[in-house]
Amino acid sequence: MTTTLGQIAEWVAGEVSGDPDCAITGAGPLDSAGEGQISFAEKGKSLKHIAATRAAAVIVPRGHAQPDMNIIQVDNPRMAFAIVLGRLYTQGAPDVGIHPSAVIGKGCTIGKDAAIGANVVLGNDVIVGDRAILHANVVIGDQATIGEDTRIYPNVFVGERCRIGCRVIIQAGAVIGSDGFGFVFDQGRHNKMPQVGIVQIDDDVEIGANNTIDRATLGKTWIKTGTKTDNLVHIAHNVTVGEHSIIVAQVGIAGSTTIGRYAIIAGQAGIGGHLTLGDQVTVGPQCGVHKSVESKQVVSGTTIAMPHRTWLRLQTVLPDLPGLCKRVQSLEERLAQMETEK
């Protein structure tokens, strides 16, 4: 897409300094952008080195002057750049309408300007909202609901009766509504507990590639508004994830745990079952959380494999180690002083 610097300024509510008719054909990093490309600089080193860029224009913080350059001043350069990327680079999608190879069940409702790609399978009584996009090989179970402007990438499965909100993005290979891992041990055997609940994903959520989100045993597994998950995340049955939380790659969350609003769960962390993590909790990478965490707390830490009983004893000692170190240091100083006085 080709546009002008003045048009981009309108997109981002910015102020142009330089040539508003400068043609912009793409975007690139500040250190390697070239002719016709726009970049951004928000703080620190990037602003100091802005004069060396070969970009046709740069988005900068409001109030930052850069003589003899084409710039757009905005309140949040990174956010503005994200808007520009979304306008300049449109993502491919199936044609509006239903592909001839799609299989549509009985009683389905498909909204205005929706796009149903090749080999998509819709069960019975599925509702697909206006302008929703289902890429190739997507499978939607009976009575599931897909909201308006939602985009589902290839090879995604959404199970029966699950509810997907508006403007949701589900990346390729995700499984939404697989059976929760529930079994009853009886007479030497693990007997399956039927999983008859659903998954509900609210508006403006993004689900990463190859996520697996289990349906609830009863009730619902619930991903609330604005939450974003990275690739390879597993969310077990009856978990609730609060609004606008971030869950990074390879995180596993065990069943019936509740996570609050604006939480951040870093990569490869493991969250135990039946816990509550409050609002604005941060969990560090590879951290194993085995008890509930109050709001606004930051928890982290990993340990090497060891006998479980040793590990349990270690957990009671670790929080006291800083104090113990000070006591040992004090004792060493007193002992050294006693040796000197002899």
**Per annotation, catalytic residue among 64, 99, 234, 237:** 237
Torsion over CA: 78, 83, 88, 89 (sign): positive
- Among 85, 77, 70, which Cα is nearest to 28's? 85
Q: Is 237 annotated as catalytic? A: yes
Place of tokens 């993005």: 169
The rounded distance, in Å, linking the Cα atoms of 196 and 216 is 7
Cα–Cα distances (Å) from 235 to 23, 152, 164, 232, 263, in that order, read 46, 19, 16, 10, 15
The rounded distance, in Å, linking the Cα atoms of 134 and 6 is 35
> In the Cβ-directed half-sphere of 94, how many Cα atoms lie within 13 Å?
27
Sequence-distant (≥ 6) Cβ neighbours of residue 329 within 8 angstroms: none
Catalytic residues: 237
